[in-house]
Amino acid sequence: MASTIACCSADYNSSMNGIDEVIRTMDTGGARPIATDGYGQSPDRLQRFGNLLQRRQEAVRGIQWTVVALYLLLLLLPALTALTPEADPSLMRLTTWVEMLFWGVWWPGVVFSVMLFGQFWCGLLCPDGTLTECASRHGRAWKIPLRLRWAGWPLLAFTLLSAVQNSIGADGLPPLTLLLGGTSLAALLSGYCYARGKRIWCRYLCPAGAAFSLLSRCAAVHFKVDRSAWDAARRPLPRPVDCPQLLDVRRLAGNAECSMCGRCSGHRNAVALAHRAASSELENLTPTEARPRDAFAICFVLIGVGFSALHGAGGLVQRGWPNEGMTLNAALDGTLALLLNAALLGGGLLALLLIGTKGDRARAALLSYSLIPLGGVALTLGAFDHAAVIGGRLGLTPGSLLPALRTLLIAAGVLWSLKIGHRLIGALPAERGRSRAGSFAAVAAAAAWMAWCS
């Protein structure tokens, strides 16, 4: 394990040399001429950016390790300061600022970036992704067991971490350090044990991946694969894509599993970073494509658990950490309260959809996708609430800014969800359209309930 960490350090030093290459090649696109899009036309800016990511992976890795260094600094320094008996007051103030920036800037920024642009954070900047891939390049490379591929692991992990955060107040430090540091260690260990040079953690285990895979389907950017151009590629064929997510790029049809790392861009002149209408991936779904597992994840995990954890009573953080009043029974009470709230909220949303669709499970599952924007808004508002409480300890008051921002985000989320619901219902076959009004009323009622709860 020590050798793996040493190799990761070497990767950091070697990849830092590539950062300047990005600056030198942004205007020229690199020394090689940019390939056409397969139809003899020059690629647009998005496609050129995707091709740049593919060609300058060394520079990308340099940026990734810079993010890792900053992440470790912000995670460990405030925690060590908080545990020091006679810490300097200025350092304690730094700890509070880090907490506020985490909840008020970083988390909302990541959520909105995923909703608008896909999982670029995951593929390019996430420190856990960098650590797990580095460990995988120098690890044991065991075969991935079938039990590790279970689709429920990210949902379970997201629920457990949310329960811990709600129960022991992990939005403060050092519990925040324990949680984030624990997930980073798990990412490092999973990479060290399984596959070679891949991101097993990101594909099968990451707790945030449970939410991001859903939110990214709203994005207006994606890697588009032209199957005809792929199959018609001239020989000799290029080397296969080194996809860290172990995806079959040829059959890539959406953003749910793609981390947007850019390594497949330009492959066979068939893969390109492209613009699309926001939420078009959701609006074009059919009842046969809707998965009950996704409906459960949206209603009970993304909205139920995520909303309850961030909008609940705040766990025991208000009593401080560590604190003799933070007992096991109190932690269990907080966990049970979270799960109960999640079950009531998620079950209520699903019940509304089933009532509006007259018990049609396939249609109810389909309409649940329309609630994804509101789920992202709920996660963001909860983070802003935490940041406002923490800012109060610094003497900062949001005044009327936070209520105005809350109103704006809720209105945007409701309209976005209603738009998706309207498109989904309008595209249903005529013979299944007898209860379109009821279906839309169910989506509207679910959106209104979410808005009221927020």
- State what percent of residues in the chain have pLDDT above 70: 80
Residue 276 has a pLDDT of: 96
Q: What b-and-e string marks burial along 233-244, b requiring 16 or more CB atoms within 10 Å of the CB?
A: eeeeeeeebebb
Please name the amino acid found at residue 306.
G
pLDDT at 263 > cutoff 70: yes
Q: Please, are residues 443 and 374 in contact by the beta-carbon 8 Å criterion?
A: no
Give the CA distances from residue 429 to residues 283, 292, 408, 435, in Å, rounded to whole numbers and listed in that order.
14, 20, 35, 12
Residue, of 105 and 134, whose pLDDT is higher: 134
The Cα 442–Cα 428 span in angstroms is 16
**What average pLDDT does range 251-263 have in this prediction?**
94
pLDDT of residue 445: 86
Binning pLDDT at 50, 70 and 90, where does residue 188 land? very high
pLDDT computed for residue 10 by the predictor: 55
More confident residue, 428 or 19: 428
Neighbours of 228 (CB within 10 A): 8
The whole-angstrom separation of Cα 375 and Cα 87 is 39
pLDDT digits (tens, 9 = 90+) for 123-141: 999 999 999 999 999 999 9
Q: State pLDDT tens for residues 316-334.
A: 333 333 444 445 566 677 7
Cβ–Cβ under 8 Å, residues 96 and 394:
yes
Prediction pTM value: 0.85
Q: pLDDT digits over 231-253, tens only? A: 999 989 999 999 999 999 999 99
3-state secondary structure of 435: coil
Ranges 89-93, 101-105, 116-120, 207-211: which has the least confidence:
89-93
Q: Where are the beta strands (DSSP E) in 59-215?
A: none
Kindly report the number of other CB atoms within 10 A of residue 248's CB atom: 10
Q: What is the mean pLDDT of the chain?
A: 82
Among residues 158, 416, 434, the alpha carbon closest in space to that of 298 is found at 158
At residue 311, the pLDDT reads: 63
For residue 112, the model assigns a pLDDT of: 93
Across the strands, what pairs with 224? Answer: 272
Say what the alpha-carbon torsion angle 200, 203, 204, 206 is, to the nearest 10 degrees. Answer: 100
Please tell me the predicted confidence (pLDDT) of residue 98: 80
For the segment 184-213, the average pLDDT, to the nearest whole number, is: 95
Q: What is the mean pLDDT of residues 135-158?
A: 94
Confidence of residue 181 (pLDDT cuts 50, 70, 90): confident
Least confident piece of the model among 22-26, 276-280, 356-360, 399-403 = 22-26
SS (H, E, C) 19-79: HHHHHHHCCCCCCCCCCCCCCCCCCCHHHHHHHHHHHCHHHHHHHHHHHHHHHHHHHHHHH
pLDDT value at 312 more than 60: no
> Does pLDDT of 6 surpass 50?
yes
